[in-house]
Amino acid sequence: MHERWHGRGLRIVAATVDRRREDALVFLKANPARFPIAFDAQGALARHLNVKTMPTSLLVAPDGTILHRHEGFTPSLGEKAALVIKEALEAA
């Protein structure tokens, strides 16, 4: 998704709440990301965004408005996220 819509303004940033940075790095070595990863070991960002479930995906507008929230993982998450992102970019 990052490659697909980066040119239209989409920015993807992930945050990990692993308490040990090494745990996150092991995961990322096996599952490389093509976008920035923020380390939030204290959970400050998760608390600020009221994240209760991992993973949680948020689509945030440039003004900070949360346009879409998805909690948990489902095999069709990518398809659903692509539709929501496409609609948000077309509305912008």
Give the residue extent of every domain in the chain: 2-91
Model-level pTM greater than 0.75? no
Condensed to tens digits (0 to 9), the pLDDT of residues 3-27 reads 888 888 888 888 889 999 999 899 8
C-beta contacts of 39-46 below 8 A and 24+ residues apart: 39/15, 40/15, 40/16, 41/17, 43/17, 45/15, 46/15, 46/17
Class assignment of domain 2-91?
alpha beta
Give the dihedral sign, CA 30/50/35/17. Answer: negative
pLDDT digits (tens, 9 = 90+) for 24-48: 899 889 988 888 889 999 999 999 9
Helix (H) / strand (E) element for 40: namely: none
